[in-house]
Amino acid sequence: MPATRRHHRTLAVIVNCLGIIAAVPALPTTTSRAAAAPAQPAVAAPAAPAERATPIPTGVPAAPPAVAPTKAAPIQMTNPPVTVAVTAANTPAPGYRIQVRNAGSSTVDTTVRQELPSGSRATTVTGGGRATSVVGSAGTNEVTWRLRLPAQSTLNLNTAFSLAAPGRAVTAPACVYGTDGTRAYDCATATWTGPAVVPATKVTAAPAWRRPPVLLGALAALLVVTGGALWWWWHRRRQRSGVAPGGPAAASAGTPAVAGGAGGPAEHGTIYPRAAMPAVAGRRHTPPIWMVVGVAAVVLAGVVGAAGWTASRRVAGIDTAKQPTSGAWMGRSVSGAVGVPLREAAFEFTVYRVACGTGNLPSLQKGGRQCLATVGVRNLTPGEQTWHGQLQRAYLPGGNWVATDEDATRVANLGQDVFAQPVAAGKRVLLPLVFTLHGDDPPKQLELRSGVFSAGVRVDVA
């Protein structure tokens, strides 16, 4: 065989091998998977023919299977076996009527607690209740009843308080708890305002010299009179210091002089006219310096007085108790006492009770002391609203604050994460919130809010 043909055959073999190697990756993947699969029993179906093999993938990813998005369900509050209602009595001293009702079909052991306002003392307690001090709180007392309610029964309790500063409204919430004393079945609140009617006070008008418009009018009139008097005095001064017509200057200019001597007209001398003397200019008089300084002082006093009055009116119109609404805050911050419903952007918060101590909950932080707050949350918006535990804070007397202990709060709510579930529209939930403090001082104030940009509410608990 010639060398040329032998070389051509070698080159053809090499080209065919390269083509086979390049075609291997383009083969269907099912072929390799079938080859790698274990051998099937003899009864297995025969392999599919070559013309029915799976086509080569085009590179477009397959659509993932449709999965319904997961959404946390709103917090579901079960119907409490025992409910409570509080109404204020129409008595001269602060008094309340507490109605406890067991709507269930079995007997329930409960504990009812009513918070005493700061500076008050229980004078009348019915139903076997007694006034006790809350452990770990700053001067906060409460009235406690331990009751055994039969099925389908209602019990009425009455209390009366005495105040160190009479004449003010008093709010005293009440809650009914189970045997553990941690989770409240139900809470209610009422505010006593007293039957006394405040007489209408007679408003007397302020004296004329204390009315700003009268003062400004008098100042303007004084300035006008002073300006007119100065102008009149200056005009009269100019008239008196001026030169009258026919005076010495005019006489000198109109009398001819005789050049030949002192004789009269009989002497024949040459008469030369004398040059006119320049008129003496009148001296310009200016007002005395004391008058100029006095007028300037009066004008300056008027300007300063008007500016001060305007500024004082604007400052008096500013309410220092309200937070600014500009910037990122939504709504205005509201402050109140325990038992008073406080509304913010999305929620209405009501703090019914705050108690600090060792408690029955295991602290998850070493050396911490827990404070349990019973809080009612009502969603005022038409949609579901979520809130966060790190935005709920307890402020200490020194200004430091701690956020909600979410793990301990989950334990207090029987394993339910109340911050992971939204509050349904128009619904109210009653939850215990736990704050872990380091130290012996009880919290002074609670700050509750629905969102990061909400102004929130502040509740004085000390």
Query: What CATH number is associated with residue 415?
Result: 2.60.40.1240
Mean pLDDT of the chain: 74
Q: Which residue has the higher pLDDT, 333 or 450?
A: 450
Domain membership flag for residue 428: yes
Torsion of CA 413, 419, 422, 426, to 10 degrees: 70
Q: What is the pLDDT of residue 339?
A: 94
User: What global pTM score does this model have?
Assistant: 0.58
Confidence of residue 253 (pLDDT cuts 50, 70, 90): very low
Q: Determine the average pLDDT of the residues in 208-235.
A: 74
Q: What are 90's two structure tokens?
A: 């129409």
Q: What is the pLDDT of residue 48?
A: 44
Residue 354 structural domain:
334-460
pLDDT, tens digit, 9 for 90 and up, residues 344-380: 989 999 999 999 875 445 444 455 789 999 999 999 9
Is pLDDT at 96 greater than 80 in this prediction? yes
Q: How far is CA 376 from CA 4, 170, 284, 436, in A?
A: 100, 19, 87, 20
Q: What is the pLDDT of residue 107?
A: 94
Domain membership flag for residue 67: no
Q: Looking at the 3D structure of the chain, how many domains does it have?
A: 2
Q: What is the pLDDT of residue 53?
A: 38
Domain membership flag for residue 306: no
Q: Which residue has the higher pLDDT, 307 or 210?
A: 307
Q: Which residue has the higher pLDDT, 251 or 342?
A: 342
Domain membership flag for residue 234: no
pLDDT, tens digit, 9 for 90 and up, residues 391-438: 999 999 888 999 999 999 999 998 999 999 999 999 999 999 999 998
Residue 337 · residue 119 · CB < 8 Å: no
Kindly give, in sequence order, each residue whose CB lies less than 8 Å from that of residue 424, ignoring residues fewer than 6 positions away: 74, 75, 379, 384
Q: What is the pLDDT of residue 272?
A: 56
User: Could you say which of 192, 223, 253 is where a domain stops?
Assistant: 192
Q: What is the pLDDT of residue 329?
A: 63
pLDDT, tens digit, 9 for 90 and up, residues 43-71: 444 444 444 434 444 444 455 555 555 67
User: Could you say which of 138, 162, 192 is where a domain stops?
Assistant: 192
Q: φ and ψ at 227, to 5 degrees?
A: -65, -40
Confidence of residue 281 (pLDDT cuts 50, 70, 90): low
Domain membership flag for residue 247: no
Highest mean pLDDT among 34-38, 172-176, 321-325, 331-335: 172-176
Q: What is the pLDDT of residue 24?
A: 57
Confidence of residue 453 (pLDDT cuts 50, 70, 90): confident
Q: What is the pLDDT of residue 236?
A: 77
CATH number at residue 167: 2.60.40.1530
User: Could you say which of 145, 163, 192 is where a domain stops?
Assistant: 192
Domain membership flag for residue 52: no
Q: Determine the average pLDDT of the residues in 275-302.
A: 66
Domain membership flag for residue 381: yes
Domain membership flag for residue 77: no
Residue 89 · residue 97 · CB < 8 Å: yes
Residue 428 · residue 184 · CB < 8 Å: no
pLDDT, tens digit, 9 for 90 and up, residues 112-163: 999 988 778 889 999 999 988 765 454 458 999 999 999 999 999 999 988 8
Share of the chain above pLDDT 90, in %: 33
Q: What is the pLDDT of residue 285?
A: 59
Q: Determine the average pLDDT of the residues in 439-453.
A: 90
